[in-house]
């Protein structure tokens, strides 16, 4: 009886240890896959380089839009997982600098984006899917609208027109309707 009990205990421990080891190996592989750049990261890497940004901003319906040109340098950071874009130029006679970090979450299968600049004290966060047919990421998020003194819902599309052209369009969501706020045409310089 003691031998049967000992054998059963050994078999149970062995089965549990094997299952735990297999589960640990499986979990480790999932972690490795999560931290490895994939096809969407390679697509982002295609944006590496210097760009000219032609920005058009609409402040109110019926008002002539504001236009300006700035420059942007993009590079992959953190083991090729994120695209960092640093934009700079002049905005109404004032120096302007902004930073955007875009990544792709391998588990959730969505793009994520943060934006900060020297024209405000908040961090804007967006996330959204990629549509292969239109070569467009459609982001949804919230940002602070200083003129309203509150956070507003926004939509941003980033279309990869070709290897040398991208178009970013931002919309304010007001009363369930999209109102175009800004459009930036990016043209590769190098």
Give tens-digit pLDDT for 138-164: 999 999 988 888 999 999 999 999 999
d(CA 40, CA 136) in angstroms, rounded, equals 12
Give the pLDDT band (50/70/90) at residue 59.
confident
d(CA 163, CA 167) in angstroms, rounded, equals 12
Whether residue 56 is predicted with pLDDT greater than 80 in this model: the reply is: yes
**Which residue intervals of the chain are DSSP H helices?**
2-34, 39-45
pLDDT in the model for residue 22: 54
Whether residue 140 contacts residue 153, with contact meaning beta carbons closer than 8 Å, is answered with yes
CB atoms under 10 Å from CB of 134, counted, come to: 11
DSSP state, residue 9: H
pLDDT in the model for residue 96: 94
Whether residue 112 contacts residue 125, with contact meaning beta carbons closer than 8 Å, is answered with yes
- Which stretch of 21-25, 77-81, 146-150, 162-166 has the lowest confidence by average pLDDT? 21-25
d(CA 23, CA 122) in angstroms, rounded, equals 42
Distance of CA 51 to the CA centre of its chain: 18
Whether residue 11 is predicted with pLDDT greater than 50 in this model: the reply is: no
pLDDT in the model for residue 7: 43
d(CA 118, CA 99) in angstroms, rounded, equals 9
- Bridge partner residues of 126 (DSSP): 113, 141
pLDDT in the model for residue 134: 97
pLDDT in the model for residue 2: 59
Instruction: Report residue 20 as tokens.
Output: 């735990």
CB atoms under 10 Å from CB of 38, counted, come to: 13
Closest CA to 172 of 190, 189, 147, 137: 147
Give the pLDDT band (50/70/90) at residue 13.
very low
Instruction: Report residue 106 as tokens.
Output: 């391998």
The share of the chain scoring above pLDDT 70, in percent, equals 88
Closest CA to 178 of 187, 169, 165: 169
pLDDT in the model for residue 148: 82
Residue bearing tokens 């130029």: 89
């Amino acid at each position: 009886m003691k031998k049967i009990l000992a054998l059963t205990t050994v078999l149970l421990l062995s089965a549990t240890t094997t299952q735990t080891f297999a589960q640990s190996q499986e979990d480790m592989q999932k972690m490795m896959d999560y931290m490895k750049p994939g096809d969407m990261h390679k697509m982002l890497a295609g944006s590496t380089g210097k760009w000219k940004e032609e920005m058009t901003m609409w402040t109110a319906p019926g008002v002539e839009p504001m236009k300006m040109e700035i420059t942007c340098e993009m590079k992959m950071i953190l083991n090729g997982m994120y695209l960092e874009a640093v934009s700079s130029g002049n905005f109404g006679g004032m120096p302007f600098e902004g930073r955007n970090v875009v990544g792709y979450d391998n588990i959730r299968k969505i793009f994520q984006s943060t934006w900060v600049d020297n024209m405000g004290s908040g961090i804007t966060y967006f996330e959204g899917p990629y549509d292969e047919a239109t070569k467009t990421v459609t982001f949804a998020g919230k940002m602070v609208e200083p003129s309203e003194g509150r956070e507003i819902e926004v939509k941003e599309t980033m279309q990869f027109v070709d290897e040398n052209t991208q178009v970013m369009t931002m919309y304010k969501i007001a009363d369930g309707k999209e109102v175009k706020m800004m459009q930036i045409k990016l043209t590769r310089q190098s």
